Structure 1
Amino acid sequence: MRVLGFMTGTSLDAVDMAVLETDGETIFAFGPAGERKLTEATRELMLAATKAAFDWPRGAPEPAVFADAARAGADEHFDAAEAFLAARDLSWGDFDLLGVHGQTVLHERPTDGRLGRTVQLIDAQRLADRTGVPVAFDFRSADVAAGGEGAPLAPIYHLARAKGSGLYAPLAVLNIGGVANVTFWSSDGAVAAFDTGPGNGMIDLLMQQRGAGRYDAGGRYASVGQAQEPVLRALLAHPYFQAPPPKSLDRYDFSLEPLAGLSLEDAAATLVAFTAEAVRLGFAAVGEVPREVVVAGGGRHNPEIMKALAARLPCAVRTAEDHGWRGDAVEAEAFAYLAARTARGLPISFPKTTGVPQPMAGGRIVQPRSGDRHV
């Protein structure tokens, strides 16, 4: 089937889109990929929903802003894809299915027998109605309800992508978004995955907190700073790093408070080191050194992060593009792939990737209602 996959990360930067032809097992062809930056209005609404989620007690009704943000998210996806398709002489009728992640505004991992919580906002029915195409969405909830972490979900796609590219184990695929997550393909054929720690998210928040822009473009500030080891050690003392995998994070699980006394440059350099050292600790937890790590996601555009990874990891560090992958599109491709698996009832999460008790199907599909297209 031909699937258009969408991803909006916790950086609240853009709607990423990618086309796959796949049955959820084999990748037959790659169609075009692209992105459109979020409008400021939608970004602000998602930030408001995120703030409301912080104060949302368990068992209480959803904050009212969730519905407004989900509707805006659906319209944002529709508008982004309309321009994307028009520029490539495609139409909605060319697709069998849409795979839409939605905007994460809350992710709490399970603790001490308490189930986690995860919220990805998207009005999937509205998007299906406007496009006339079925929409697969809500990929994480079933896993969380069964006691899993709900993340990461891309490992099954990482494995398919690696095999399709002729790569072989032991191998790691590292995605650096707001949070960094890694997929390990071990020499015995097993696949494990977990969030390693912060990706770009803390650096972005630091820049915004200090009035230096949305993010550290090109690693400009970090490149002239010095990582402060005492602060780095304090950050690494977080109990998350002692917890065994599989495990997952929210972008806001770590505080910027330990960096308060540092210059912007030193704080940025320390956070770059934090990202890389957290990955190194994750590698150590797995107990096998991969031949190489393939880096995808926005973090690979920060040369300071790439330098820190190369300095701290015990293996070769390569970008997705080194193997002909589209590093900015891997997650959008992954949700196209997961949508196809959802349509076929195939598992999308596994004991060693999310901690769920057994391999689980996930996601829901809504059908377009007749007469509602382009409302």
Structure 2
Amino acid sequence: MSGTSMDGVDAALIETDGDRIVSFGPAAFEAFTDDQRRVLARALGKWPDAPEVAPAARIVEAVHLAVINRLMQDDPMPVLLGFHGQTFAHDPRGLGTHQAGDGQALAQTLDLPVVWDFRTADVKLGGEGAPLAPFFHHACARYIKADAPLVFLNLGGVGNVTWVDPSQSAPEAPGACLAFDTGPANAPLDDLMQNRHAKSRDEGGLLAMSGTADNAIVDAFLSHSYFQRMPPKSLDRNDFPDLPALVADLPDADALRTLAACAAAAVARGMEHCPTAPTRVLVTGGGRHNAALMAELRARVPMDVDNIDSTGLNGDMLEAQAFGYLAVRVARGLTTSSPTTTGVAAAVGGGVISTGFGG
């Protein structure tokens, strides 16, 4: 999995039948170099026929191959691979959704079946095509033996939540899941650090922790029309283009703290859509390492906010594990999204299966 933060590629082994999680295996991470990240950035917002896409797609495939090969050196050969690709454009109500990377090429290179192009079928049937991890989150809630509704909050470049009722045995069942993108998360903070200091991130949120949020800017941010829409709903990484201008005149620390407050306020606004109040919010993704972002969440979200690692799950690898889980669901003909996770007309199974030379 390579997410909207574009820091690199996560790979993780999972043993599952597509319903129950049996066990989690080892995981690995391969970072994009600065030069690679610049090529990827030039492809953001571009569709497949744009000239910037082909070189970016080659990087996506090469780095995925590198991390997969490293993971398989000392561990059992997987029987199936889930390959998400890199999202460069997402416009489900218009042009569709675009994840770069050729799953067929990976299947032939590795001589293993690869499930890819997870989002297109959902979009074609009227869904948002995102988020796609909710069915896996439902399985995780059962794996950790949760006994009451809870929320999984993923803070990547964009934030998304899944409200889960673990008492429901199937994720597509009415009332089992509700999911949607909350708003920008790490992306605007990372972009500010890149633009002002040529650094990929504010490591640990240390600079943001020394700043003060401008709540007038947070309130202006919350006036965006996206927050008036009912879920399910989804975002592209660049759907809030005016946000950098709102903090342009603030010192670095205050600008970062204000962006963190915006991300947290968007999550708090999203909690209003939960069918019932969750007992806790489990935070996954890179944003949970940002102290300022976590502090803002705990100040603004009216329930317990915990790092998901406290449950024994791996918050750095949950998205990669999710696409392994979804790959098995696709191979078994099971659904991967539903009306309450993406807004698709009916529960649907997405994904294309490409086989290696062995068939």
> Under TM normalisation by the shorter chain, which class is it?
over 0.9
Residue 54 of structure 2 is matched in structure 1 by 67
Give the one of 32, 43, 68 matched to 1:81: 68
Give the one of 210, 235, 242 matched to 2:228: 242
Give the one of 11, 26, 29 matched to 1:32: 26
Unaligned runs of 5+ in 1: 1-6
Q: Secondary structure at the match of 1:352?
A: coil
Give the one of 183, 189, 202 matched to 1:197: 183
Q: Secondary structure at the match of 1:32?
A: strand
Counterparts in 2 of 1:280-359, with a 5 A limit? 280-359=268-347
Deviation of 1:269 after TM superposition, in Å, equals 0.6
Q: Secondary structure at the match of 2:6?
A: coil
Residue 233 of structure 1 is matched in structure 2 by 219
CA spacing shift, 1:109–1:264, aligned 2, 3 Å: farther
C-alpha offsets along residues 298-343 of structure 1, whole Å, 9 cap, x if unaligned?
Answer: 0000111111111111111111111000010000000000000010
Unaligned runs of 5+ in 2: 169-174
Residue 139 of structure 1 is matched in structure 2 by 118
C-alpha offsets along residues 63-99 of structure 1, whole Å, 9 cap, x if unaligned?
Answer: 133233223321211112222322xx136xx211110
Please, what is the CA RMSD of the aligned residues?
1.7
Residue 184 of structure 1 is matched in structure 2 by 163
- Alignment length (residue pairs): 350
Give the one of 28, 41, 64 matched to 1:47: 41
Give the one of 136, 157, 160 matched to 2:139: 160
Matches of 1:194 and 1:274, distance apart in 2: 17
Residue 149 of structure 1 is matched in structure 2 by 128
- Percent identity between the aligned chains? 45
Q: Secondary structure at the match of 2:115?
A: strand
Matches of 1:268 and 1:171, distance apart in 2: 29
Amino acid at match of 2:30: R
Deviation of 1:44 after TM superposition, in Å, equals 2.6
Amino acid at match of 1:146: L
Matches of 1:47 and 1:34, distance apart in 2: 23
Give the one of 234, 241, 257 matched to 1:269: 257
Cα pair 1:116 1:149 within 8 Å, conserved: no
User: What is the TM-score with the length of structure 1 in the denominator?
Assistant: 0.89
Give the one of 93, 104, 109 matched to 2:87: 104
Cα pair 2:30 2:63 within 8 Å, conserved: no
C-alpha offsets along residues 129-151 of structure 1, whole Å, 9 cap, x if unaligned?
Answer: 11111110000011111111000
Matches of 2:79 and 2:275, distance apart in 1: 42
Amino acid at match of 1:85: M
The answer to whether the aligner puts 1:252 opposite 2:231 as a matched pair is no
Residue 4 of structure 1 is matched in structure 2 by none
Q: Secondary structure at the match of 1:19?
A: strand
Deviation of 1:169 after TM superposition, in Å, equals 2.3
Cα pair 1:186 1:288 within 8 Å, conserved: no
Matches of 1:333 and 1:81, distance apart in 2: 13
Matches of 2:137 and 2:95, distance apart in 1: 24
